[in-house]
Structure 1
Amino acid sequence: MATLTPVPVTFSKDEVPTKKNVRDIIGTFLTEEWRSVDPETLTMSYHASFVNAHCHVERPKPATGTPTETLKVFIKFHNDTGSCLEIFKPLAPTKHEEALLCYEYGRTGLGAKVYGFFKTQDGTLGRVEEFLDARNMEPEDVENSVIRADVARGLATFHVLKMSLEKKAVDLYYEAVINGLRDYLKMDKLKALGKEAGISIDKLVDYDYGRRLRNVVDKLETTGGKTGWCIHDIQFMNVMVKSHVKEGESKVILIDFEFVMQNYRAFDIGGHFMQKMFKWFDEESRIAGCRKYTEDEKRHFCDEYARQWNKLTR
């Protein structure tokens, strides 16, 4: 079971860790070599995002011999405030639950191994985990049948994982979403914002998405749609493609579980197909410069998904 370990570290007022800070944090869990590393020899890349701050840390190779501990690690700091929308707060994992889920996922061999959870003297929480030699998946990657199949199998495996999270009714998710959509239906303020930008969005604002969504959910229920642990935020930035793989090993790893909840599997599968057309962190355009998922590719994806689901649930 994962436990929270106090570390003798206090961050500065700007909360940006120093090289000594990260050396001391990592050395608490990797005690053979990291603990004695000269902090000034470390290479560190720190990023503060709207969800969680994180950093990559690398130490030099030993002058002699083969290292007994990894040379690179990833540290994620668990901020008190996250990106979770207000309507999802009763349903989405807490920061503690999300961190525990990452630990459980890592123990399956499917995700990054978590070395430990920590709490600094000033109360900052975080975790130290394996650095993934991987890159974010690009939309064009799923045009490769091998990668596409690995994503399908990865999703099917995640959907049936045994987790410590409480299973909350799927209906609660759709109740929150449909009520939220109802608040914006025919809202004059939204129409005015569109006009200020020189774009008419009146038809979008007047469309009853909540009723359409209810029809879809009712259809899934009457046809016996299967549910599972859905990631929900299945954008391609949350799928990592490994640089090197062993024979029989998946080329992809799923990351970021802030919105994991029970839902119909179709939510993640359809979301994956849709997300191929977007690059959310592109500075010039959010629209990906590639073609849509073809029907044959969707069929192949679903075949691979079903084969893995059946393998794990029968």
Structure 2
Amino acid sequence: MAVKTNGVVDGILPEELMKLLLSLATKWGDGLDLKNLKVHHLSGAMTNEVYRISWPTKNENVPRRVLVRMYGEGVDRFFNRDEEIRTFECLSKKGQGPKLLGQFANGRVEEFIHARTLSAEDLRDSEISSLIAAKLREFHNLDMPGSKNVLLWDRLRKWLNEAKGLCSPEHLKEFSLGNLDKEISLLEKELPTASHDIAFCHNDMQYGNIMIDDKTKAVTIIVRVV
């Protein structure tokens, strides 16, 4: 395996992650030899590098599997990592999504869910779309800690300012970023919140953040707080 990512090179894992995996294996009674780790890069994530890591257990036919999420370089400009972890833990306790198994400097270890990530084509399947809609209704009804106010407009302005700071004058003009402040204000004015329910939202519902078990038809939403 020859992969160069934010923290994984040629299949060699960061030392802090290795220690965490060893600690988890010891906790589960696996007696892990780090030389027996199998690292498999998973596609689908847009801002992180995601790996399935497995190792033998005492039951030779049932390997232990965990998912490792390596944070993408520079995404902390747009995502609040501490807030994401707190929300992730809360969702896990409520039975939503995978369990958080541990954290290290550049990522986290999650429960490995035996399901597949959706594709763009899956979203055109009426049965799958119905399952996603039902899951989202459940998701939106969650009672989560934190602010109950609308965060969308301040967040859009924050992202816009970050983008302006990163772009060259040519890109500012090409993507018309100078006009977006007015468009955000127009949308905020045209979409009043008084007549709408305010709920806990995902804010990144692209197909790479949705998984499905084809046998049970269970849908899992992978959360990133933005």
* TM-score, normalised with respect to structure 2: 0.70
Residue 24 of structure 2 aligns with an amino acid whose one-letter code is: F
The answer as to whether partners of 2:153 and 2:184 remain within 8 angstroms in 1 is no
What does residue range 42-57 of structure 1 map to in structure 2 within 5 Å?
42-45=37-40, 51-57=47-53
What does residue range 1-314 of structure 1 map to in structure 2 within 5 Å?
15-16=7-8, 17-18=12-13, 22=17, 24-30=19-25, 31-34=27-30, 36-45=31-40, 51-60=47-56, 62=58, 71-78=64-71, 82-83=74-75, 85=77, 94-115=80-101, 117-119=102-104, 124=105, 126-170=107-151, 172-173=153-154, 176=157, 189-190=170-171, 205=176, 210-221=181-192, 224-245=195-216, 251-259=218-226
CA RMSD of aligned residues (A): 4.1
Q: Classify 1:211/1:178 alpha carbon distance in 2 versus 1 (closer, same or farther; 3 Å).
A: farther
The sequence identity of aligned pairs, in percent, is: 19
Q: Secondary structure at the match of 2:75?
A: coil
Residue 100 of structure 2 aligns with an amino acid whose one-letter code is: V
The structure whose Rg is larger is 1
Residue 25 of structure 1 aligns with an amino acid whose one-letter code is: L
What runs of 5+ residues in structure 1 fail to find an aligned partner?
A: 1-13, 194-203, 260-314
Q: Classify 1:168/1:37 alpha carbon distance in 2 versus 1 (closer, same or farther; 3 Å).
A: same
* TM-score, normalised with respect to structure 1: 0.53
Q: Secondary structure at the match of 2:215?
A: coil
| Cα distance in 1 between the residues matched to 2:37 and 2:151 | 46
The answer as to whether partners of 1:178 and 1:214 remain within 8 angstroms in 2 is no
Count, aligned residues? 213
Q: Secondary structure at the match of 2:192?
A: helix
The answer as to whether partners of 2:22 and 2:34 remain within 8 angstroms in 1 is no
The answer as to whether partners of 1:104 and 1:163 remain within 8 angstroms in 2 is yes
Deviation of the 1:224 alpha carbon? 0.8
What runs of 5+ residues in structure 2 fail to find an aligned partner?
A: 1-5
